[in-house]
A and B are shown apart, each in its own frame.
Chain A
Amino acid sequence: MRRPLSLKIGISGVRGVVGDSLTPQLVTAFSAAFGAHVGAGPIVIGTDSRPSRDMVKQAAIAGLMSVGCAPIDLGIVPVPALQLYVRQSGAFGGICITASHNPIEWNALKFFGPDGILLRPNQAVELTDLYHQGVYPRVTYRDLTDVKEDHTAAVRHHRAVLGAVDVERIRARRFRVVVDCCNGAASRSTPAFLRSLGCEVVEMFTDPEQPFPHNPEPLPENIGALCNRVKEVGAHIGFVQDADADRLAVVNERGEPLGEECTLALVVRHMLRKQVGPVVVNVSTSRMVDDVAAEFGAPVYRTRVGEVNVVEKMLEVNAQVGGEGNGGVIVPAINPCRDSFVGMAFLLESLAHEGCSISQLRSRIPEYVIVKEKVDVSAREIAPALRRFQEAYRGERLDLTDGVKVMWEDRWVQARGSNTEPIIRVTAEAPTEDLARQLAAEAIARLQVGHNGA
């Protein structure tokens, strides 16, 4: 069998393993293609804290400059801060160098349009077409612009988020907060942000020069240290961000992880309490959101997985809140992208308004258990497996927005091909863990890719 490819060029950007597929040649060429796509103007560029950041960034700068773009280098920056900066600065676009929650050997380019939103699928297709053509509109020395550095992105970002919450109410509570930044892009920004909300901040892993202390995906199994620390210091709440700070997970005052799906549900409930309106989430997001929305009589729209799909729908239906179940909270009025700072601010505001603890807040929304499994398959096996899966559930209520989702009264199971890896993701949600596991196991069996399933 062929060696699995570590390179993934798709609608979410270019992703690869450093020292293997993510070469400076590839990055330079792709950045030149991006410059050609958005036009010769200011392009914002930033990175997370991975050790490969400078190598990749210099390659991207070379590619951008070669087609006449003027790179604005934000340095190490949370991706939502970069997205906001792009929109506010009138730049032609942005590139964030981050592999998000992927392990440290990976890196990637995420591309943003002038509105700070990830390229739409049709734009991403145009970009890859430009790349594959391999002919870029190079400029001569007269039209070259040197790199400009700007370190104000974090401050601009804080200002935008703080302007949308009741800072005085939050400050009055003097929350003690433990934050685990995973030595990622928000390591400098998050503690300062929380302090401006009057929090007493206990920092964990806030040195971007150090390697990731754990896998940067904010899952319960990766945040044991945070849980212990919250208990030790008697904090009100614990926060953990992924490496580029778009996703957020929460630990309660007893040091128990709430599970990343709770983040969005809690924020949605808070926002609907303030003002009722439509909610947009992706098809894989917990049905906690549906229960919360039903309580307020708010409609829920579901989209394909991927930030840009959710954002597009939000703008279309004028939703004030939405996001992705993996801890990605989106409030377009502040920033039309997943933003962990928005999540933190509204969760703290919610605690301040309701005058309760985070575990009490959690108890106000129904309990579900979500189980996420991966099944390794080659790309060519994905479609037949999903057809077999759909056939096996014929007669049930199906949603084919993204892969195949099968729904019952209080549970659901979904199988879909990943955007980023050669796998089928199987997600099941039910009121108890046993039920969810059982649903997932059944679903995997019905994919009939048995040799390496589950």
Chain B
Amino acid sequence: MIASLHADTLRQLKIGTSWLRGVVGEALTPELVVDFACAFGTWCDGGTVVVGRDTRASSPLLRAAVVSGLMSCGCEVVDLGVCSTPLVSFAVRERGAAGGISITGSHNSARWNALKFLGPDGALLNAVLSEELLDIYHASAFIQAGWQNLRKIVSAPGVLDRYLDHLVAGLNVERIRAREYRVAIDLCNGACGSAATAFLTRLGCRVFPLNEEPSGEFAHAPAPSPANMRQLAALMRCLGADLGAAINIDGDRIGFVTNEGVPLSEEYALPLAARNVLAKEPGPIVTTYSTSSMIDAIAREYGQDVIRTSVGEGYVMDRAFAEGAVIAGEGSGGIAFPRITPTFDALATLGVVLEEMARTGKSVAELAAMLPARAMRKGELGAAPDVVYRVVEGFRKKYAALGPNTADGVRIDWPGAWLHVRASNTEPLLRVITEADTAERAEELFEEAMTLARRLAFGVGM
């Protein structure tokens, strides 16, 4: 009984590196959000904090709680309204703010929502800074500003234009404009709509937006993976446009559909963008243990290293800054260009991919075909955290002889194939990913792993 209650509660709330995530109406109460906002306001020492929110129905509620908590610490709140996480990041840097909070459930379903915490550098809090924030929260040691130290809620007029200026400044705009690309974008009713259209217009593209109206009712699940790109792929086939792009709710992840109307796995976004970046400026690449090895081929082409970290933007970007990476990202379609944007940024990625098309004169289908053929299988097994832990430990023991990498769950490498098993950061489930030269091999490894996982978790399946 107690065990199941425990598991039930944990299904509704996750406090991770750089964010607080939960189900609104369940564990993610306004009191909890106020407490966290107070902790963050205290972490920011009562300085200026930029706040943005996505289009979820629960985001205005969370915004009110966040603003109140921050103000009670004496923070000046810069309220950007509905906007993407990368725009919050830009505004933090532009204003020299002490931090930022993006209110967004990102790729999670509509019942979830979350706070993402950004530091003064505009990046998500790394593990160390997140610990500090949690310590303040747990101690309830909040700054309580007296009435004479309370500051106002202000806006940031023109910030979107300046953000777009910043993005295009890093691109060869003339070259892209000359191609007069036709681009279809699926915005999933998220926070990035007007920004995406304005951005593409600046790049001389003809824009065909899909699900652009901001709404808490998403047209489909928000993760930019092929399963959610059916609408966009159908539109692409009708239009015969040059590129289709699917952007998630808070504008940090992107996936592509080719000019032929074929949805590409979200794993393609990183290598497609990376070739362009490395061609202009060689440097190391940072990604996770779960990301496709397509990126290794590109790195080899340019004689660069791929450095892998635990999954999670906070970990990836922390390492990217340390290594002086020129591009960093995850297989989920979240990509950052550390010198331009310190958070995963879908629009920046879109610009880079368009520039690559313009630079090479190739279609996106041709660019994708140049990448090594790899087959990937991704799956998950829902289980309470203690069960997930038991399964991961079981994998570690089982493959001990192969010298598994245990930095984030268990990763085992064979020639031409790998398996990664890890606990999700955001949900109570086990993630299983395999990749191999052939679909058969990937499938075989995947089935083997899932069977083992089920047996370790529930004592069945073999």
Contact = CB atoms under 8 A, between A and B. Distances in A.
Q: Report whether chain A binds chain B.
A: yes
Interface of A: 18-20, 23-25, 27-29, 32, 50-52, 54-59, 61-63, 65-66, 104-105, 107, 138-144, 146-147
A84 B35 CA distance: 34
B222 to A, nearest CB: 14
Interface in B50-96: 56-58, 60-62, 64-65, 67-69, 71-72
B148 interface: yes
B147 A139 contact: no
A338 to B, nearest CB: 25
A51 B148 contact: yes
16 contacts: A18-B145, A19-B144, A19-B145, A20-B146, A24-B34, A24-B38, A24-B71, A50-B147, A55-B67, A55-B68, A59-B65, A62-B34, A62-B68, A65-B61, A138-B25, A141-B113
B68 A59 contact: yes
Contacts of B26: 138, 140
Contacts of A143: 25
Interface in B134-169: 144-150, 152-153
B226 interface: no
Contacts of B394: none
Contacts of B285: none
A32 B30 contact: yes
A141 B147 contact: no
A56 B34 CA distance: 12
Contact of A62 (B64, B72, B110): B64
B65 A140 contact: no
Nearest to B25: A140
Nearest to A107: B147
Interface residues of B, number: 38
A317 B71 CA distance: 46
A50 B24 CA distance: 31
B33 interface: yes
A27 B72 CA distance: 11
A62 B29 CA distance: 9
Contact of B65 (A19, A58, A104, A142): A58
Given A141-B24, A141-B110, A23 B65 contact: no
Given A55-B67, A66-B29, A144-B24, 15 more contacts: A18-B146, A19-B145, A24-B68, A24-B71, A54-B67, A55-B150, A62-B61, A62-B62, A65-B61, A66-B30, A107-B147, A141-B111, A142-B57, A143-B25, A144-B57
B36 to A, nearest CB: 11
Nearest to B143: A19
B319 to A, nearest CB: 34
Contacts of A29: 31
Contact of A58 (B35, B56, B57, B68): B68
Given A104-B147, A140-B25, A61 B64 contact: yes
Contacts of A19: 72, 144-147, 149
A50 B25 CA distance: 31
A70 to B, nearest CB: 11
B385 interface: no
Interface centre among A29, A55, A142 (most CB of B within 10 A): A55
B30 A62 contact: yes
B25 A52 contact: no
A52 B72 CA distance: 8
A141 B72 contact: no
A340 B153 CA distance: 31
Contacts of B72: 18-19, 23-24, 55, 59
B150 A25 contact: no
Contact of A59 (B34, B149, B152): B34
Contacts of B204: none
Contacts of B34: 24-25, 28, 59, 62
A66 B150 contact: no
A28 B147 contact: no
Given A23-B144, A105-B146, A58 B71 contact: yes
B71 A18 contact: no
